[in-house]
Amino acid sequence: MRSAPTATSFPLVPKIVPLAEAVAGLVRDGDTVALEGFTHLIPFAAGHEIIRQRRRDLTLVRMTPDLIYDQLIGAGCAAKLVFSWGGNPGVGSLHRMRDALANAWPAPLAIEEHSHAGMANRYVAGASGLPFAVLRGYAGTDLPQHTPTISVVTCPFTGEELAAVRALNPDVGIVHAQRADRRGNVQLWGIVGVQKEVVLASRRALVTVEEIVDELTPVPGAVVLPHWVVDTIAVVPGGAAPSYAQGYYDRDNAAYRVWDAISRDRGAFRRWLAEVAA
Amino acid sequence: MITPDELMSVTAARALRDGQVCFVGIGLPSTAANLARRLHAPDLVLIYESGTLDTRPDELPLSIGDGGLATSALTVISVPEVFNYWLQPGRIDVGFLSGAQIDRFGNLNTTVIGEYDEPVVRLPGAGGAPEIAASCREVVVVMRQRARAFVEQVDFVTSVGFGTGPDDRELLGLRGRGPTRVITDLGVLEPDPEAKELVLTSVHEGVSVEEVRAQTGWELQVSADLGVTAPPTEAELAALRSMTTVGS
């Protein structure tokens, strides 16, 4: 296992293993885990495997805790949520997250709340091996009063006061990508979000991919994660559904709408959970 | 029959000028920006926070990260780049925002109704809004006008308008001008040039000042040259109604 960012023990070649083995090997109870993917390439299959393996007391980190974190929270995997926008995009609220916050069901949920700019910069700092990031942000808002990882720093050159946010270095970073080659180099394209940053910021990294290919032919705008920064790869075709994988399949918009009804009702959610856990 | 959302979308679209660079959120702002692009502003540049730069979707997206936004974009950039290289240094002309609450100084709340630790309603949170409010050259707010939403003071300041008064933006180091207009289903509010308090500058056709005041939680001031919003034209409505949303 590698540790960000100065370790010398990077794996020479990531292990390509089944998803269950990948999650069992990398995700432990009590870990800080970041599943990223900004609307696109959301690692749903990996999240569902965490639910099946009944991981507990996780600190879940994600800029946009949408359906996948609503599911993990409802399944009782989370003790804390670190985030910047929690909703069902284009549809409405996250009812499992709300139930956990308001009623501690199925478990109490602590929160640490940022803006998108703050979260993105926390990953950048983590990936860069720095203890914090600097940005123009949060000034005049009520967020710093409630979030201890937001502070103020004075520029040593101009004297200007700027926001400082603490670096994020999750124990495990999990992303989904279109493909990897046999050496374990990973390639993703389209909306690439903060996937590069979360993989580089995390102590261990799991990537699920649509397929393994002999050669990664260049794609405009693609991000390549070299094999030595990825610990484990699992081949999971459709692993981002009901989000989408550009070039492979479209977003299942109906599933996002259906989730609203499932998540509103504990009974409906329990039935959903029983199917996923089976 | 023109719906309140259609009226707000058309009024918001008119607020955009051709060639401007516009930071777009999902829902009504996205509708308005894409409508403007089909009408008077074909060279309007749309940026969604997912990193799609100068995107020209055929259909309205359901989320800010739809595939159609990426494939029709000039380029797609990472999320840190969106905020650090484009928004923060002031490379965006107009940002669209909304909220569950707005107050007389244009501050917005998308975090909680009630106390933070024991809220009456937990809202989605900040997303990109605080830095959009801080750094876009100007901000246009679009939201339905109801007394419970237009309040004397927001329960939580997620995004700063003018803080507590005319000097706050400068004191806080916020570089953009702040909200320049608030477009509602009843009319348009704009900040008073000196006091920065939101003032009613236009009512939509058939709406009385009393109706707007009844849906405003502070003692709403009315501009001396109060206008009436020009109703949507046939062309505007036809363009608006011809736009379809992904997956519907």
Chain A / chain B CB contacts < 8 angstroms: 170
Least confident of A25-34, A213-222, B58-67, B123-132: B58-67
Chain B nearest-CA distance from A277, in A, is: 28
Chain B: residue nearest A119 by CA? B80
Q: Residue B245 — pLDDT band, cuts 50, 70, 90?
A: confident
Helix (H) or strand (E) holding A240: none
CA atoms within 13 A on the CB side of B54: 7
Tens-place pLDDT, residues A50-89: 999 999 999 999 999 999 999 999 999 999 999 999 999 8
| A193 contacts B78? CB cut-off 8 A | yes
Mean pLDDT value across residues A161-187: 97
Q: Are A186 and A177 in contact (CB under 8 A)?
A: yes
Q: What is the mean pLDDT of chain A?
A: 95
Mean pLDDT value across residues A212-228: 96
Looking at the complex, does the CB of residue B114 fall below 8 Å from at least one CB of chain A?
A: no
What structural domains and CATH numbers belong to chain A? 15-115+122-129+169-277 (3.40.1080.10)
User: Would the pLDDT of A120 be above 60?
Assistant: yes
Q: Are A164 and A151 in contact (CB under 8 A)?
A: yes
| A83 contacts B125? CB cut-off 8 A | yes
Structure pTM?
A: 0.96
Tens-place pLDDT, residues B105-130: 999 999 999 999 999 999 999 999 99
Please report the pLDDT score of residue A206 as a whole number. Answer: 98
Chain B nearest-CA distance from A44, in A, is: 16
How are beta strands A186-188 and A223-225 bridged, if at all?
A: antiparallel
Angle between helix A67-74 and A95-103 (nearest 10): 40
> Identity (one letter) of the amino acid at A89?
P
User: Would the pLDDT of B47 be above 50?
Assistant: yes
Looking at the complex, does the CB of residue B120 fall below 8 Å from at least one CB of chain A?
A: no
Q: Residue A8 — pLDDT band, cuts 50, 70, 90?
A: very low
Tens-place pLDDT, residues A121-168: 999 999 999 999 999 999 999 999 999 999 999 999 999 999 999 999
Query: Is B49 annotated as catalytic?
Result: yes
Looking at the complex, does the CB of residue B101 fall below 8 Å from at least one CB of chain A?
A: no
Classify residue B82 by its DSSP letter.
I
Q: Residue B25 — pLDDT band, cuts 50, 70, 90?
A: confident
Please report the pLDDT score of residue A35 as a whole number. Answer: 98
Q: B49, B131, B197, B236: which is the annotated catalytic residue?
A: B49
Percent of chain A residues topping a pLDDT of 90: 92
Tens-place pLDDT, residues A244-276: 999 999 999 999 999 999 999 999 999 999 999
User: Which residues in chain B have Cβ-Cβ distances shorter than 8 Å to A93?
Assistant: 122, 124
Q: Residue A173 — pLDDT band, cuts 50, 70, 90?
A: very high
Q: Residue A7 — pLDDT band, cuts 50, 70, 90?
A: very low
- CA distances for A275 relative to A75, A197, A256, A268, B108, angstroms: 12, 33, 17, 11, 41
Handedness of CA A199, A204, A208, A211 (dihedral sign): positive
CA distance A21 to A82: 26
How are beta strands A132-135 and A161-166 bridged, if at all?
A: antiparallel
A1-4 contacts, C-beta under 8 A, 24 or more apart: A1/A203, A1/A204, A1/A231, A2/A203, A2/A204, A2/A229, A2/A231, A3/A203, A4/A126, A4/A127, A4/A129, A4/A169, A4/A200, A4/A201, A4/A202, A4/A203
Q: Residue A1 — pLDDT band, cuts 50, 70, 90?
A: very low
Mean pLDDT value across residues A235-252: 97
What structural domains and CATH numbers belong to chain B? 4-181+233-242 (3.40.1080.10)
Tens-place pLDDT, residues B48-103: 999 999 999 988 888 888 888 898 999 999 999 999 999 999 999 999 999 999 99
Q: What is the mean pLDDT of chain B?
A: 95
CA distance A94 to A71: 9
| B125 contacts A253? CB cut-off 8 A | no
| B127 contacts A93? CB cut-off 8 A | no
Helix (H) or strand (E) holding A150: strand A150-154
Please report the pLDDT score of residue A9 as a whole number. Answer: 58
Please report the pLDDT score of residue A11 as a whole number. Answer: 66
- CA distances for B99 relative to A243, B3, B30, B105, B185, angstroms: 26, 20, 15, 14, 14
